[in-house]
């Protein structure tokens, strides 16, 4: 007899002993004729079943955030409790922020003052630019005028130094001769007019006209004589000195005008200083805006909001407490639940991203379909295992922190199987009714493995080809005659 047969016989004997003292089905030793029972009968068959690796782990949420304060302040209100669902951006905790609000008001005042400073600097720069341009234009005009006067003075000096030319002397003599001829004619006309007036041949008015013409001719003659004398004599020393002095004065005026232009242009450099003042004032505005932004950011820290949609897992603070930077206030869990299971590196080839597999969370009592969404690229150096995350369907009974198992197919092999309804558990053991060749049902203890597609793997207690009652709900007793169907 083989070792498996001996083990089966021992288990059968133990099952009969338990059946005799238990409450399960009992044989009827003195029955002359076995009781006939109609029940489905199935044969123990070998089929190809997948070899699986069981990976265990813990259920965790995709998002797990512990919220803490960034500033110190008294807690004014806490709007949620454990188990409450929250939306992203929802206010959860409010801190006292009166000092931060005051800092914002002060920053606003400083920013406004800086902006006024920029406006004043720009106005002053514009006025300075206009005034400087006007001063430069005025000084340049004065310089141009002084240079023109200098040129005129130099021309007069040149004329004075050169003296009269021969042509001018000849012209002066001709002017004297012309004036002398005019004088003689005027004098003769005056004498003739006097004679005619004495004889009452003409009026007194004609006499006066002749007298006036003579006076004019006499003046022209004297002027021509004097001009001829000057031309003959030449330029006097006093005239030359006067012309030289005029040149010196014109040169001094030019130098003074040039200094005025230089001074006006130097004053125009003040515009650059004004521009520097504008840049400095603008920098004050930027600094004030940065201070205002910082104060606003600090003020926003007084309101702690939900970072994502989720559920409050823990509340560690109440109103009236003092929040300190880094101290935890709330824990928020969000996103789908995932089983984080550890897989040995030898079986990692059986895990594929996007693949689905069976997952069981012991507390739920049901098998779930998990999807591999992440395989950590680096494993544990000590245990040579890798963390695999499987996304789970939503179930109210499944909570973060629960223990779970996942099975990954690593290969296939042939195993003895029976219908899943053929075996049952009692007192920690699994049993089936085996139908022998005479059709008599005998109670037998077996050990089972996993269940696949409605069939259960039998590890020991049965041999291929044996028949079993396929439905444990049938009214079958040990020793009963089974009429298979």
Structure confidence at residue 431 (pLDDT): 92
Rounded alpha-carbon distances, angstroms, from residue 277 to 51, 109, 127, 273, 287: 82, 20, 14, 6, 15
Rounded to the nearest 5°, which phi and psi values hold at 426? Answer: -150, 125
* Domain final position from 330, 352, 371: 330
* 58 closest CA partner among 310, 374, 346, 362: 362
Rounded to the nearest 5°, which phi and psi values hold at 107? Answer: -65, -40
> Residue 73 sits in which domain range?
63-95+299-330
| Candidate from 176-185, 353-362, 397-406 with smallest mean pLDDT | 176-185
The number of distinct structural domains making up the chain is 3
pLDDT of 284 > 70? The answer is yes
* 344 closest CA partner among 54, 49, 58: 54
Residues 133, 148 within the same domain: yes
Beta strands in 363-440 (DSSP E): 366-375, 385-391, 403-419, 424-426, 429-435
Structure confidence at residue 485 (pLDDT): 62
Q: For residues 159 and 172, give the distance between their C-alpha atoms in angstroms, rounded to a whole number.
A: 17
pLDDT 10s digits, 27-50: 444 444 678 888 888 889 988 887
Region 418-428 average pLDDT: 89
Rounded alpha-carbon distances, angstroms, from residue 281 to 119, 284, 286, 341: 9, 5, 9, 62
Cβ(356)–Cβ(370) under 8 Å?
yes
Residues 48, 12 within the same domain: yes
User: Could you give the 3-state DSSP secondary structure of residue 469?
Assistant: strand
> Could you tell me the two tokens for 294?
């910082």
* Domain final position from 330, 349, 369: 330
pLDDT of 370 > 90? The answer is yes
Residues 324, 205 within the same domain: no
Residues 86, 127 within the same domain: no
Give domain status of residue 58, yes or no: yes
Residues 76, 172 within the same domain: no
Residues 414, 320 within the same domain: no
Three-state secondary structure readout of 171-224: HHHHHHHHHHHHHHHHHHHHHHHHHHHHCCCCCHHHHHHHHHHHHHHHHHHHHH
Residues 215, 133 within the same domain: yes
Give domain status of residue 278, yes or no: no
Give domain status of residue 84, yes or no: yes
Residues 69, 180 within the same domain: no
Residues 68, 158 within the same domain: no
| Candidate from 78-87, 99-108, 382-391 with smallest mean pLDDT | 99-108
Region 144-162 average pLDDT: 76
* Contacts (Cβ under 8 Å, ≥6 apart) of 98: none
Give domain status of residue 212, yes or no: yes
Residue 125 or 344, more confident: 344
Region 337-359 average pLDDT: 91
Pairing of β 467-469 and β 41-43: antiparallel
Q: For residues 53 and 405, give the distance between their C-alpha atoms in angstroms, rounded to a whole number.
A: 10
Mean pLDDT taken over the chain: 82
Give domain status of residue 292, yes or no: no
Structure confidence at residue 23 (pLDDT): 39
pLDDT range class, residue 235, cuts 50, 70, 90: low
Residues 304, 237 within the same domain: no
Region 430-446 average pLDDT: 91
Structure confidence at residue 296 (pLDDT): 85
Q: Where residue 446 sits, what CATH number does that domain have?
A: 2.40.30.170
Residues 315, 342 within the same domain: no
| Candidate from 262-266, 321-325, 358-362, 399-403 with smallest mean pLDDT | 262-266
Give domain status of residue 286, yes or no: no
Pairing of β 481-484 and β 36-39: parallel
Give domain status of residue 290, yes or no: no
Q: Where residue 310 sits, what CATH number does that domain have?
A: 2.40.50.100
Residue 135 or 436, more confident: 436
Q: Where residue 188 sits, what CATH number does that domain have?
A: 1.10.287
| Unique residue bearing structure tokens 């310089």 | 143
Structure confidence at residue 161 (pLDDT): 66
Residues 326, 458 within the same domain: no
Largest distance between two CA atoms of the chain:
213
> Could you tell me the two tokens for 89?
């951006």
What's the pTM? Answer: 0.50
| Candidate from 80-94, 170-184, 235-249, 277-291 with smallest mean pLDDT | 235-249
Give domain status of residue 119, yes or no: yes
**Adjacent-strand bridge partners of 408:** 53
**HSE of 263, CA atoms in CB hemisphere, 13 A:** 11
Rounded to the nearest 5°, which phi and psi values hold at 459? Answer: -85, -35
């Amino acid at each position: 007899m083989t070792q498996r047969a001996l083990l089966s016989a021992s288990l059968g004997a133990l099952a009969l002993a338990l059946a005799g003292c238990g409450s399960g089905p009992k044989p009827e030793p003195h029955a002359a004729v076995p009781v006939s029972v109609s029940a489905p009968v199935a044969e123990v068959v070998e089929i190809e079943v997948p070899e699986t690796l069981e990976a265990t782990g813990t259920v965790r949420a995709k998002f797990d955030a512990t919220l803490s304060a960034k500033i110190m302040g008294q807690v004014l209100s806490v709007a949620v409790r454990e188990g409450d669902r929250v939306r992203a951006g929802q206010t959860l905790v409010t801190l006292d922020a009166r000092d931060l609000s005051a800092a914002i008001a002060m920053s606003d005042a400083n920013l406004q003052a800086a902006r006024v400073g920029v406006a004043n600097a720009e106005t002053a720069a514009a006025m300075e630019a206009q005034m400087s341009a006007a001063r430069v234009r005025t000084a340049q005009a004065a310089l141009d005028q002084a240079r023109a006067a200098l040129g005129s003075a130099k021309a007069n000096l040149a004329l004075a130094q050169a003296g009269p030319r021969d042509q001018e002397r000849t012209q002066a003599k001709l002017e004297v001769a012309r004036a002398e001829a005019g004088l003689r004619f005027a004098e003769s006309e005056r004498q003739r007019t006097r004679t005619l007036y004495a004889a009452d041949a003409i009026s007194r008015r004609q006499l006066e006209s002749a007298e006036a013409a003579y006076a004019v001719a006499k003046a022209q003659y004297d002027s021509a004589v004097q001009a001829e004398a000057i031309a003959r004599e030449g330029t006097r020393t006093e005239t030359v000195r006067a012309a030289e002095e005029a040149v010196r004065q014109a040169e001094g005026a030019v130098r003074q005008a040039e200094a005025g232009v230089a001074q006006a242009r130097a004053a125009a450099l003040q515009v650059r200083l004004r521009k520097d003042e504008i840049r400095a004032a603008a920098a004050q505005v930027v600094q004030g805006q940065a201070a205002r932004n910082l104060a606003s950011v600090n003020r926003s820290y007084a309101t702690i909001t939900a970072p994502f949609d989720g559920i409050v897992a823990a509340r560690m603070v109440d109103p009236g407490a003092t929040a300190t930077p880094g101290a935890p206030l709330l824990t928020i869990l969000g996103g789908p639940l995932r089983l984080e299971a550890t897989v040995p590196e030898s079986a990692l080839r059986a895990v594929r991203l996007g693949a689905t597999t069976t997952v069981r969370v012991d507390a739920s009592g049901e098998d779930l379909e998990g999807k591999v969404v992440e395989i950590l690229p680096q494993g544990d150096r000590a245990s040579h295992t890798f963390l695999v995350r499987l996304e789970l369907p939503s179930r109210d009974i499944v909570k973060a922190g629960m223990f779970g198992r996942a099975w990954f197919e690593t290969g296939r092999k042939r195993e003895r199987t029976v219908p899943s309804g053929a075996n049952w558990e009692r007192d920690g053991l699994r049993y089936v009714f085996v139908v022998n060749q005479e059709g008599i049902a005998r109670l037998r203890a077996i050990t089972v493995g996993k269940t696949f597609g409605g069939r259960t793997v039998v590890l020991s207690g049965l041999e291929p080809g044996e028949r079993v009652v396929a439905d444990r709900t049938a009214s079958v007793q040990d020793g009963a005659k089974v009429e298979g169907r």
